Structure 1
Amino acid sequence: MNELLDGLLSDAAARHGVMGAQLAVVMDGERAQAAAGVANAELGTPVTGETLFQIGSTTKLHTAALVLGLADAGLVELDRPVADRLPGPRLPPGPLRDVTPRHLLSMTSGLDNGPYADTGRGDDCVARYVDLLADVPPVFEPGEGFGYSNASTVVSGLLVERVTGATWDAALRDRLAAPLGLAHTVSLPEELPYHRVAVGHDAAGRVVRPWLLSRGLGPSGSTLCSTAADLAVLGQTLLDGGVAPGGVRLLSAEAVEATRTPHVEVEARWFAEQWCAGPYTKVWDGVAVYGHGGTNLGGSSTLVWIPERNAVLAVTANTPSQGYPFAEEVFGAVCSELLGLALPVREEPDAGLPVDASLYTGVYETCDTRYEVAERPGGIAVTTTSGGGGLTCDLLPLGGHRFWPSDDRLGGMHRWDVAFVPGRDGRAVRFMNGAFAARRTA
């Protein structure tokens, strides 16, 4: 299997311009892996199976596992408001005081995605980030919908800190990485010199500078570095009912069931169909798949596990702009060759579908992005403004309040559909740029 994976990975990396990558596969307990390309194009450093990549938001699975483990130990109540356990940080007022850990893990808290802010390097940087959220309006009330949120996961990380008395980084090391034997999973920059490390590259193959690790956003995915093989161990643990490959029980059967129980439908469905306590779930060729992906300026990763096939797939890459399409091609090839599964084909919009522009036109906002939806001949268009930049593109109908943007740049590094969430009168109350929810403000 290793030879097959080597070829699949190298071919996909060449087609997508990915400088360096790893692939790990577990099938019926048998593990195989592959590595390709360079970790640093300026130095010509080759990628090995032990090279650490920045994994981005796949980190949210690690934070979810920590919270669920604390629930197993009776230290966290999944349905008790987190505000009861977080004296000090200024949480958003009003209904969001009722946010529970289950809301946080299932992306139903109503918290805005939050600012991409660096709150320093001290041990209180996670708490300082949560303090920022008091000034960020909520998108919706807890449990009323789906909205992917880095802020939600940072609050989960702070909960871990307050319950354990340790930093999120220390809790991750002692309560997750050590029991699972994840020797190549680290979150602090001072740990990185003791490992082989991949740096990020842009689409032209140039090294990305600076190396940026925002510790305050660590629980949501800004700092954690790992390997495809270590990610696969976490996936195998969740696949095997919470028991790690070495026989250590990390999570109870009840906790694992929470990671497989859908809590909410996702309106924009290309990247996920439902969300559980930690992972998303979607369907490939009639088979349920669970997982999470992530991308930041230095790297990209995706981890999925497929209970019906007793399989785990993990991929890392150091060309973030290509991370998601690269992972999709790699997983598609592995599924076709080894699992007898075909990945979904991207839906094509239907220009003939009627669009009632009056339901959607208006202004939608997050803490750092403004979307203005306007009528155009035969349909609607959206203009987005963020960080001094802007983009206007048509929204091409897919049906059911879903649209495909005419310009993939609307989703940043993601290539996904968008959607509107209708209110009781049918008029949209939220705009979903893929995973991210924006509230209507005008």
Structure 2
Amino acid sequence: MFEVNRVTARSSSLDAAHWQRRLDVLAENHGVAGAVLGILHGDDMMSAAFGVTNMRTGAPVQTDTVFQIGSITKVYSATAALRLVADGVLDLDKPISTWLPTLRLADDAAHRVTLRHLLTHTSGIAGDVFTDTGRGDDCLERYVDGLASVPQLLPPGTGFSYCNSGFSLVGRVIEQVTGKVWDRAMHDLLFAPLGLDTTMTLPEEALLHSAAMGHEHQADGTLQPAARWGLPRSNGPAGGIVCTARDVLAFSRFHLNDGRVPDGNTLLPRALVRDMRSTQIELPFYDGDNNALGLAWFRQTWDGQSLIGHDGYTVGQNAFLRLLPSHQLAVVLLANGGPAPDLYRALYSEIFAELAGVAMPSPLHPPQGSSGFDTGHHVGTYLGYNHEHEVLDDDGVPSLRWAATGSLVDVMPTTEGEYEAIAAGGDLLLYREPGQRRWRPATFVQLPDGRSGLYIGLRAYIRAS
């Protein structure tokens, strides 16, 4: 039995004890190592904790335990960049070569990729570049120099493909115009003004706190502490923030309050905050959650209501953030191992129904009967950068395999595998990872440049000729 930790609440209007009980029951049922749940509703805030920071030591998770929030970091980096836009230092629609004149990208894209492209994952740059350029303050500069050898998957501005490397590039732009390393610039532009006292970017800072260690499933099926802490420092602007759930809610309050900080002053103009959560592009597929993208924020529709949010995954840790502006509601779940996506669905469906009367969309399910999927038409290998998928025909039944290559091998717990896959439509497979309940879509499309592609995990993969 995991240890249950103290609940904190700012007001009795949120039933903190109830949500602690629900976290306890659902997290244990799903086999999650540790988690913190945070809820912000109007002026009221609460958090609840469950489990252990490290299954080897048994140290309990506290409500002030820091977790890696992974790609939710992208919203923070975007917010910092927009502060510089508001000050006239940056411009959303100028080429990034304006501020990085020596930048080199494949296909001369440096003179065409804009900050808006980077913040909407439409730069076309191959996204899963996890090159470790060291721990020095020049790590982002060296990382960006290395992008010269990274291919363009799509022409800039023509299509969506989730792009971690693009946000490292955003971080380098921030460094260039502020004269500070990204870590310091984030502190000065965002963490300090918002009072985010338990938000940090470096592991040596996290060690000063109760810190959650990621856990990964091993070959024998057990959940064990991960072999390393997190991503390389050069990927910091894309996924390097470590913080408490309470600080994530404070950041969420800033966005729900249209850029106002607790003292009532405006840190970011309302128009830019609204631009961040307004539709910039429609996604060319439905992944069961997201249907559009703002500036870094993903947009979702639940029961007719518009939400914004982002998820994060690092080495054995998951983070889920959803904001419902119409109800001044934000919910964050931080977890450090096990089937956290299933816990997220179980908890959030209850929270949003009870606090806002909003139903979470039903998860994707395999269809009954024939799907019309033409396995032979879609058979082939679909290539990304450091990652590929292969669709196979097993007597008319599709199967889906994947493999990691290059620098991605260093950040993945396993380097190849096969999904459980079921045909679900003419151009749609549903797949799920071993040990998880949730089905996800693999969508076959014709890309804007005419090539055949496959969208999996928000990323575009190009069919090999």
- Offset of 1:360 from its aligned partner? 2.9
Matches within 5 A, 1:36-51: 36-51=50-65
What SS is found at the alignment partner of 2:172? helix
Partner residue, 1:316: 334
Asked whether 1:270 is paired with 2:288, we answer yes
- Offset of 1:275 from its aligned partner? 1.1
Partner residue, 2:141: 127
**Structure 1 residues 82, 149: closer, same or farther in 2, change over 3 A?**
same
Partner residue, 1:396: 422
- Offset of 1:37 from its aligned partner? 1.6
Is the 1:397–1:404 Cα contact (8 Å) retained in structure 2?
yes
Question: Size of the alignment, in residue pairs?
Answer: 437
What SS is found at the alignment partner of 1:371? strand
Partner residue, 2:102: 88
2:38 aligned partner, one-letter code: A
Partner residue, 1:347: 364
1:227 aligned partner, one-letter code: T
Is the 1:361–1:372 Cα contact (8 Å) retained in structure 2?
yes
Instruction: Return 5+ residue gaps in structure 1 as ranges.
Output: none
Asked whether 1:253 is paired with 2:277, we answer no
Matches within 5 A, 1:284-433: 284-319=302-337, 321-350=338-367, 351-357=369-375, 359-378=377-396, 380-387=398-405, 389-393=415-419, 395-399=421-425, 401-405=427-431, 407-409=432-434, 416-423=440-447, 429-433=452-456
What SS is found at the alignment partner of 1:49? coil
Q: Supply the distance in 1 between the matched residues of 2:322 and 2:380 (Cα, whole angstroms).
A: 37
**Structure 1 residues 107, 423: closer, same or farther in 2, change over 3 A?**
closer
2:422 aligned partner, one-letter code: L
- Residue by residue over 1:86-145, the C-alpha shift from the partner in whole angstroms, topping out at 9 and shown as x without a partner, is 133432333453111111111111111132221100111012112222212111112212
Is the 1:96–1:110 Cα contact (8 Å) retained in structure 2?
no
Partner residue, 2:160: 146
**What's the TM-score once normalised by structure 2's chain length?**
0.88
- Residue by residue over 1:48-83, the C-alpha shift from the partner in whole angstroms, topping out at 9 and shown as x without a partner, is 221111111111111111111111111110000112
- Offset of 1:376 from its aligned partner? 4.6
Q: Supply the distance in 2 between the matched residues of 1:370 and 1:336 (Cα, whole angstroms).
A: 39
Partner residue, 2:245: 228
- Residue by residue over 1:220-267, the C-alpha shift from the partner in whole angstroms, topping out at 9 and shown as x without a partner, is 00x321111111111111111111344342211121121122122221
Q: Supply the distance in 2 between the matched residues of 1:106 and 1:7 (Cα, whole angstroms).
A: 38
What SS is found at the alignment partner of 1:372? strand
Asked whether 1:210 is paired with 2:233, we answer no
Choose which of 99, 102, 120 in structure 1 pairs with 2:116: 102
1:333 aligned partner, one-letter code: E
- Offset of 1:413 from its aligned partner? 12
Q: Which moved more, 1:336-345 or 1:75-84?
A: 336-345
Q: Supply the distance in 1 between the matched residues of 2:104 and 2:270 (Cα, whole angstroms).
A: 34
Is the 1:380–1:394 Cα contact (8 Å) retained in structure 2?
no
**Structure 1 residues 2, 245: closer, same or farther in 2, change over 3 A?**
farther
Q: Which moved more, 1:360-369 or 1:66-75?
A: 360-369
Choose which of 58, 61, 64 in structure 1 pairs with 2:72: 58
Q: Which moved more, 1:84-93 or 1:9-18?
A: 84-93
- Offset of 1:359 from its aligned partner? 5.0
Choose which of 183, 202, 215 in structure 1 pairs with 2:197: 183
Q: Which moved more, 1:23-32 or 1:260-269?
A: 260-269
Is the 2:421–2:430 Cα contact (8 Å) retained in structure 1?
yes
- Offset of 1:33 from its aligned partner? 1.4
- Offset of 1:157 from its aligned partner? 0.8
Is the 1:369–1:386 Cα contact (8 Å) retained in structure 2?
yes
**Structure 1 residues 297, 415: closer, same or farther in 2, change over 3 A?**
farther
Is the 1:89–1:128 Cα contact (8 Å) retained in structure 2?
no
Q: Supply the distance in 2 between the matched residues of 1:154 and 1:144 (Cα, whole angstroms).
A: 21
Q: Supply the distance in 1 between the matched residues of 2:398 and 2:33 (Cα, whole angstroms).
A: 38
Q: Supply the distance in 1 between the matched residues of 2:292 and 2:77 (Cα, whole angstroms).
A: 19
C-alpha root-mean-square deviation of aligned residues, in Å? 2.4
**Structure 1 residues 102, 359: closer, same or farther in 2, change over 3 A?**
farther
Instruction: Return 5+ residue gaps in structure 2 as ranges.
Output: 1-14, 410-414
Q: Supply the distance in 2 between the matched residues of 1:41 and 1:394 (Cα, whole angstroms).
A: 29
1:422 aligned partner, one-letter code: Q
- Residue by residue over 1:329-378, the C-alpha shift from the partner in whole angstroms, topping out at 9 and shown as x without a partner, is 22112112222122111222335121244653333211112223344544
**Structure 1 residues 156, 236: closer, same or farther in 2, change over 3 A?**
same
**Structure 1 residues 151, 409: closer, same or farther in 2, change over 3 A?**
farther
- Offset of 1:27 from its aligned partner? 1.0
- Offset of 1:306 from its aligned partner? 0.3
Asked whether 1:435 is paired with 2:452, we answer no
